[in-house]
Structure 1
Amino acid sequence: MGEEWTRITPFPLDTNPLKVEVIVVLQFPIHRIENNLVITKSEDIWSYYRVFENTVGINEQEALENLVYRLEKLAWQLSGFLEIDYKILPVPVDIEARISKLQNQYEGKYASVGSYYAERLRDILIEEAKDTVEYKFFIGIKLERKENEGDNILGTTIRSLKGLNRYVQRLSGYNGIDGELLNQYRESEESAFATLSSYLPATRAKKEELHYLLRHFFTRGMKNERENDESISSLTEGILHQSDAGFIRIQQLEDESYCAFLPVTEFPVDMNGRAWSYFFQELGFPVEVHIRTHYKEKKDDYSETNKIKRRFRDQDSQLLQANEDEDSLINAGRTLLHELENDIKNQGKPLLRTYTHFVVWGMTKSECRSRVTRLKRAFKDRGVEVLQPLADQLLLFHQSIPGADIVAPDWEQILTPESFSDSLFSLTRKVGNTVGFYLGKDITSPGETVENSPFLVFYHPFLGQLGLKGSKYSSPHVTISGPTGMGKSFLLKDILLNAIFFGAKILMTDPKNEVEKKFKATIGEEQSPFADLIESFNYITFSSDKRDAGKLDPLTFLEGEEAHDTAVAILEYLAELQSQERNIKTAIYKGVRHVLTTERKPGLLKVVKYLQSSEDKEVQNVGDLLYEVGTNGVAKLMFSNGDVSGISLKEQVNILQIQNLTLPEDGEKPATRDEHIAVALMIPLAKFATKFARDDSQTKITIFEEAWMLTNTGQGHKLIKEMLRTGRSLRSAVYIVTQSTVDYNRADVKEGIGTKFSFKAKTIEEAGNIIEFLGIEDNKENRELLKNLSEGQCVMEDIYGRTAKIQIDVPFNEWKDAFNTKEEDKGRRETEEAFI
């Protein structure tokens, strides 16, 4: 057995008898967990904190720079604690638990149908999103003990006796912690929490969170189930094997997984934009991160820079001998070193001696190996070198445990506070709600699609008004904007069907008269939960037929001043009066007031007759015009003699449809008489919806399709503002579906909207308007993003003010068919695409 075969390693490499195996025995470091404190067996105490996730909007450079600044300052300020433990834990999204909680909120007539679809969704997502995780962030700080006895001989003797006493207690099986010992660390813990909280939103970690963290180490890739007694021994149950170099196999009773620890071996000179503890979240599989930082005194940091200077001198000498030009990277490094030396000397800037390693796992070694390869390649593209060591896997496993000593010192990398801040620690991607129905995927990063993005988006339509902690808006109202054909109606119908499972009552205006036709065309003759759902809706169709005349006459379903103002607004709009025609306006006011006060059954036709009987010829002419308009075509919906029967809204879902309505071009002012009438019809339609929304006996959603038409009338805009203002108190959400956000991009309106969905912008100007509406950074990248959105893609701002580019994804085929508003292509698509 020659010396060349001797190797110190924490595991048997193989069974070759010529090799000498030296087993390194590592003692489990944790003695006890007390609240957020980890007490080690060497009586060191670490305090752990849960850092809340930070998010930045799309291309929000200013917000990103703010996070970098805070991380830099934090790294600087924590130097007083000598040793810090940063952890990023990927927590699996528990699809079953979320769907179960969602089902528990279903009630009313459609609860059973909702459960049917929830169970289908659960099965789909468990299969398609099995590796989906949410990242949680923790920071552990090694506390300093405040000595009370002084540094004299007597104090040293007393501490020695106490230490001996605790040693005897441990031998006897006593697990208690000396209260005085904890008191000696209290001041340090409070200082640590205050320092951390000054730069990052954080809270003291719960004991349950630390238990979960600890249990996770022994169940990576498997179900993390805590034992009932939650003792340290039960949390750390598991057998670790390292029979395969570079991997650890974790064995539980009925399951096993493979994991690999990958330390960083080299960071680039320029760390700007590397996002080295953030970007991997896009990879589609879980990645765990452990960053240990160790601080030394100023003289040690200064000595470190001197070492590097000597290396540069050696390199200069070698280049001179080889007669080669100096490398640009070396030159840049020399400049940075000079700046660092001055900062250490003059400002006391600390150096962070870091030990960073990433952890990936898989249910098979092959899966784990594939993920290792992908992770290494991804980091290499960013100039960061990571290695899969053959012999240090168990050492790195041990080093990742809270409170453990650094036992793999070979992987030390020295960082400055600036280079550490470029990690973007605590940054994550999240938009939407934690519990809600599945809406789609976050596809903000280039190249992401609904097929490869790991970021699920959930949405709950009835959380906005609850004033949730951390929310920016306390409003249930929603806007959905964008040009025709990009997915507005598709998204709206997805929300509509999911909302009814919560027992909400729905009133939807459908000026295009397409919902019933599209829905029923997809159900066929066979009975199904979807068919039952669609058939049960109350479709209220308004037409130009005589039987529908007067059904939207405001004098028949409104009362008092509201009836008066709405009737005046309709008549003035239809008459297209100019501001100087005050005599006609006065006549209309008097006519409406006269009919309301004298007629037992008031109606707009009676007002028209009042105008026709006027002695003023101009008023007569307007009366004649309004009579012709109100007794012909679809406009007769607004005119009656007061003898029409009311509209029943007894069903949970009510859809108001108007046939043969000639709508103006997208977002344009009406250009013809028919278009003018179509806009006028929106006034009583909106008033009818407002009356529905005022009933506060149950939760409601009022949907305005083509709501941009309302803003073509002052009355319509006033109505929307009123509903946005009062909706929360009336348990009523308003959904505004419109071509453009320009009419809602006002502080008094948009602040009343809780969630915003913005589809493609047709022009750069429209992109700028959407940017202002969403409150995101106005830059070239965001304008281009909005202009290049594809069908089904939109930018979402949730109630927390978070923004992301998302792809709407409906998992049920029958829903997709019913939501599709495109003309049947009769094979034209296949013909066109056949030769691509």
Structure 2
Amino acid sequence: MQYPIKYIENNLVWNHDGECFAYYELIPYNYSFLSVEQKEAVHDAFRQLIAQNRDGRIHALQISTESSIRAAQERSGTHASGKLRGAALRRIDGQTEALISMIGENQADYRFYIGFKLLLNEQDSGNIGRQAANIFSGFLRDVNHTLMGDFMSMPDDEILRYQKMEKLLESRISRRFKVRRLDKNDFGYLLEHLYGKSGAAYEGYSFQLPKKKLKGETIVKRYDLIKPARCLMEEHGRYLRIVREDAETFAACFTVSDVVGELDFPSSEIFYYQQQQFSFPVDTSMNVEIIANRKALSTVRNKKKELKDLDSHAWESGDETGTTVAEALDSVNELETELGQSREAMYKLSYVVRVTAPDAEELKRRCDAVRDFYDDMNVKLVRPVGDMAGLHHEFIPAGRRYMNDYIQYVTSDFLAGLGFGAAQMLGEKDGIYIGYGVDTGRNVYLQPALASQGVKGSVTNALSAAFLGSLGGGKSFANNLLVYYAVLNGARALIVDPKAERGNWKHDLPEIADEVNIVNLCSDGQNRGMLDPYVIMRRPKDAESLAIDILTFLTGISSRDGGRFPVLRRAVRTVTNSGRRGLLCVIEELRREGSPLAVSIADHIESFTDYDFAHLLFSAGDVKRSISLEKQLNIVQVAGLVLPDRDTRFEEYTTMELLSVAMLIVISTFALDFIHMDRSVFKIVDLDEAWSFLNVAQGKTLANKLVRAGRAMNAAVYFVTQNAADLADESLKNNIGLKFAFRSTDIAEIKKTLEFFGLDTGDENSQKRLRNLENGQCLMQDLYGHVGVVQFHPIFADLFHSFDTRPPLKAGVGV
């Protein structure tokens, strides 16, 4: 069987029949969690891509390639900077070894190639003299190759003609899909993959194809063209044994014998679902011959006549027409009507599935799994004896269809419904390793600071993130893991920790201990006044605004209160302009004013000062100790806070709850100062239990300020909360890029979460996925708008124990 490739020039491949194909990689598009309308839009775009070709051939390949885990991890190391870079690189090295021990050096990755046969237009083919010259010169080249040497040559003018046609084709394709022209390295990898090579990473592969330019032609050694296919290939009935110097591979090819039922769209996207179904590599080839509408109608009508003749013969013989004939006649009538109305072409499809394994026994198991999968999709596969090598050749670029026995006559709708190019895509190609996709098993990486860089293809430039979910689902763990690795890579972080769950970090994470600053704001007397607005804020004007917010929040005095608000406002302004500043000084100034209204307000404010930890808020301006942000990781813990339940209305807050929320507002306002630090450094403000202050007007306003300022100052705000409704405000929701939603069992909350992600709230499959998530699994949306399910994977036991917020079990208790 002749090796089909005659010559390769960039993404153009010539075969020995004189045909030229242009090959592209179809950049996979995200298909997970799309609505029915979005899936139909993709289907229509692909149908139009197929239908725009009225003649010729199309060759589509889904190939299981390999990507290097070590290379991805090494690229991740280049993102680390700052004082903790050494610790970051050590963690990355540890990750690399762990991942390789679990997965291997390489990870399976699916790529989609599509090739179009280029047809010369009338202007190009009309030059009879040039055509004759090319035919004659081609004959001479073939004679010289056969008799004199082992070179292939190609006229430069023919190359230029096809290159012009390819540019027009590429512009048409790129209007609907993102594509990349293949090059010699792509073809080399594809060929070596087909001929048994494994363990090679796609990114680092290089194919040497030296060419020599002569006057008017380019020559290449035939050996260099066939070099990727060098191996021993033996055909054993239903499988191939492929032996290379370093490996032995067993391969089997299936082809479609029949489609026994309707492939309903959506849910029939075979190319999409088989990526998730199989844990082993599966390659697929579609060799499509386009039959023009007029010729297709003629073929269908001839077939209709044959079926009618069978029906008439049965009637004349006194027999009943078989159900097979009747069904075929119905199908032909339907197809004739469709072709007549649409004026579209019909397509002769040769569909081949290739399965490989390291030994014959494993190959049998894998083949059974593939056959079962296609059976479930109403597609019957066969593995014909003695045809393995021929079917294998259908995968080679520019190769011909091997046989006509298993051709399927289909429409563009059928081809579009197979989901070619559909994939689940999440995160980046490198960065912080957070875990793996539950459906695909692929590693998921994030670069938290990337959104603001205006990355091509991104749908948001918002740096902020949201971690949602009910108690115990894993949102705090995931949040801690992402913040920790961001700090290792050079970011600065301020964590507001109202539950005091991170006090162990300095001890449990010695590699970052020197850059961890834990401020524990307990009721100890030495902390008096540390959260006083006049102490914690650097600029007097900011301190004055925060003092007004806190005092009106505690007393319930509204700015619309024409009697009390001006009195309070005047006292705060006086303190701001004095030499001694603190909230206790505001009380003194109100008493100094002496009016009954001022004294009443002073008494109201003073009534808060003798509560357990209220002294943190009140000082007379004599506080020497303050919160420092010199370290990379700053954790502000306020132990003993009594936060209101999320369903408690503001009017029902107790005094302790009012004070607790007031302290969170002070600390979060302080975070604004943190955000305005060095703009060249990525910063994170992490608000744990964010719902507690998003429920009040002052807290919501503050959150919006943090998010808007963060976009300009290279800073992100991470909201950790239980309910998506807390972030439902449009101005806030639109400024959140990364989203993580953990398990929820309440159907109303599930619908709110799906709405927050921009998904169909009525989709029962999406609802079920969110409800059935396991601990550590979440629905994630990246900055490209892609959605999928991720399993967070800390790898290191010390990180798991450090970030685990579950209460400890008693000795001897547990599962």
TM-score, normalised to structure 1, is 0.88
Aligned to 2:348: 353
Q: 1:450 — aligned with what?
A: none
What is the letter of the counterpart of residue 756 of structure 1?
K
- DSSP-derived class of the 1:590 partner: helix
Cross-structure match for 2:217:
none
1:200 to 163, 177, 181: 177
**1:227-279 residue CA offsets vs partner (Å, 9 max, x unmatched):** 56345447515313225332223322222222222222222341223212221
**Contact 2:32 2:787 survives alignment (8 Å):** yes
Matched, 1:93 2:48: no
Matching residue's letter, 1:361: T
User: CA separation in 1, counterparts of 2:588 and 2:142?
Assistant: 103
Shift in alpha-carbon separation, 1:531–1:396, aligned structure 2, 3 A:
same
Number of aligned positions between the proteins: 787
Give the stretch that moved more between structures: 489-498 or 751-760.
751-760
Give the match for residue 216 of structure 1: 193
1:439: Cα distance to partner? 2.0
1:252 alignment counterpart: 244
| Residue matched to 1:14 | none
> What is the rounded CA distance, in whole Å, between the counterparts of 1:586 and 1:154 in structure 2?
97
1:808 to 789, 792, 802: 792
1:325 and 1:477 map into 2 onto residues whose CA distance is 68
**1:454-495 Cα deviation digits (max 9, x unpaired):** 233222222222211111112221111222222111111111
Q: CA deviation at 1:148?
A: 5.7
Distance 1:608 1:828, change over 3 A: farther
* Alignment partner, residue 754 of structure 1: 737
For 1:47, what is the secondary structure of its paired residue? strand
Query: 1:658 corresponds to which residue?
Result: 638
Aligned position for 2:275? 281
Distance 1:337 1:759 in 2: 50
- Aligned residue for 1:447? none
Are 2:28 and 1:53 equivalent residues in the alignment?
yes
Contact 1:511 1:706 in 2 (8 A): yes
SS in 2 for 1:682: helix
Give the aligned partner of residue 704 of structure 2: 721
Contact 2:311 2:321 in 1 (8 A): no
CA distance in 2, matches of 1:95, 1:181: 42
- State the partner residue of 2:664: 682
Mapped to 2, the partners of 1:304 and 1:269 lie a distance apart of 23
1-structure distance, mates of 2:132, 2:603:
110
The residue aligned with 2:4 is: 29
Distance (whole Å) between structure 2 residues aligned to residue 85 and residue 715 of structure 1: 61
Unaligned runs of 5+ in 2: 211-223
Deviation at 1:49, TM superposition (A): 1.4
Judged with a 3 Å threshold, the aligned counterparts in structure 2 of structure 1 residues 630 and 380 are, in CA distance, closer, same or farther, namely same
Q: Shift in Å at residue 627 of structure 1?
A: 1.9
Deviation string 1:213-239 (CA, Å, 9 cap, x unpaired) is 233222443325745634544751531
Which moves more between the two structures, 780-789 or 274-283?
A: 780-789
Distance 1:675 1:398 in 2: 73
What one-letter code is carried by the residue in structure 2 that aligns with 1:458? Y
Taking the TM superposition and a 5 Å limit, the aligned residue runs for 1:383-402 are 383-402=378-397
Q: Distance in 1 between matches of 2:647 and 2:228?
A: 63
Distance verdict in 2 for CA 1:618–1:97, change over 3 Å: same
Q: How far apart, in 1, do the equivalents of 2:379 and 2:445 lie?
A: 34
What is the aligned partner in structure 2 of residue 68 from structure 1?
Answer: 43
Return 5+ residue gaps in structure 1 as ranges: 1-25, 445-452, 524-529
For residues 737-784 of structure 1, give each alpha carbon's deviation from its aligned partner in whole angstroms, at most 9, with x where no partner exists.
122222322332222221111223453332232222211122141344
Q: How does 1:517-536 map to 2 (within 5 A)?
A: 517=504, 519=505, 523=508, 530-533=509-512
User: What displacement does 1:126 show?
Assistant: 2.0
1:563 alignment partner AA: A
Which amino acid in the other structure matches residue 610 of structure 1? E
Task: Supply the AA of the counterpart residue of 2:788.
Answer: A
Contact 2:646/2:692 (8 A) holds in 1: no
Contact in 2 for aligned 1:220/1:259 (Cα 8 Å): no
Map 1:19-418 onto structure 2 (within 5 A): 26-58=1-33, 60-80=35-55, 82-130=56-104, 132-146=107-121, 157-167=132-142, 170=145, 171=148, 175-223=152-200, 226=205, 229-230=208-209, 232-233=224-225, 235-272=227-264, 273-282=267-276, 283-306=278-301, 308-309=303-304, 310-311=306-307, 314=310, 334-418=329-413
Q: Quote the Cα distance in structure 2 between the aligned partners of 1:666 and 1:791.
A: 22
Structure 1 residues 270 and 317: alpha-carbon distance in aligned structure 2, compared to 1, 3 A threshold: farther
* Paired amino acid for 1:359: R
Q: Secondary structure at the match of 1:664?
A: coil
Go from structure 1 to structure 2 and tell me whether the alpha carbon gap of 1:791 and 1:149 turns closer, same or farther (over 3 Å shift).
closer
Counterpart residue identity of residue 605, structure 2: L
Pairing partner for 1:566 from 546, 549, 564 = 546
Whether the 8 Å contact between 2:189 and 2:207 is mirrored in structure 1 is no
1:10 maps to which residue? none
CA distance in structure 2 between the aligned counterparts of 1:242 and 1:668, rounded to whole angstroms: 74
**Could you say what the CA RMSD is over the residues aligned between the two structures, in angstroms?**
2.8
1:710 is matched with which residue: 664, 686, 693? 693
Structure 1 residues 722, 151: closer, same or farther in 2, change over 3 A?
closer
Q: Within 2, Cα distance between the matches of 1:805 and 1:572?
A: 44
Work out which of the residue numbers 590, 594, 597 in structure 1 matches 2:574: 594
**In 2, are the aligned partners of 1:566 and 1:715 still within 8 Å (CA)?**
no
Partner of residue 12, structure 1: none
Counterpart of 1:13? Answer: none
Please name the residue that 1:740 is paired with: 723
Q: Which moved more, 1:97-106 or 1:566-575?
A: 97-106
Q: 1:703-740: CA deviations, max 9, x gaps? A: 11111222233332222222222323322222111222
The alpha carbon displacement at 1:334 in A equals 4.3
How far apart in 2 are the matches of 1:173 and 1:243? 27
* Counterpart amino acid of residue 673 in structure 2: K
AA aligned to 1:626 is: I
| Match of residue 693 from structure 1 | 675
Pair 1:540-2:540 in alignment: no
Indicate the larger mover: 551-560 or 159-168: 159-168
> Could you report, residue by residue, the CA deviation over 1:14-72 in whole angstroms, capped at 9, with x for unpaired residues?
xxxxxxxxxxxx22222222111112244321111121211134252111111222222
My pick for the range that moved more, 643-652 or 142-151, is: 142-151
CA offset digits 1:125-179 (Å, max 9, x no partner) = 2233347422211110111124668769766643443333443664556655312
Letter in 2 for 1:93: S
Change (3 A) 1:746 1:208: farther
Please say if residues 146 and 185 of structure 1, whose CA atoms lie closer than 8 Å, have aligned partners that are also in contact.
Answer: no
Alpha-carbon separation, structure 1, partners of 2:455 and 2:124: 48
Q: Structure 1: how far apart are the matches of 2:153 and 2:614?
A: 84
SS in 2 for 1:475: coil
Name the SS for the 2:238 alignment partner. coil
TM-score by length of 2: 0.90
Letter in 2 for 1:356: Y
After superposition, where does 1:416-565 map in structure 2 within 5 Å? Answer: 416-443=411-438, 453-517=440-504, 519=505, 523=508, 530-533=509-512, 537-558=516-537, 559-565=539-545
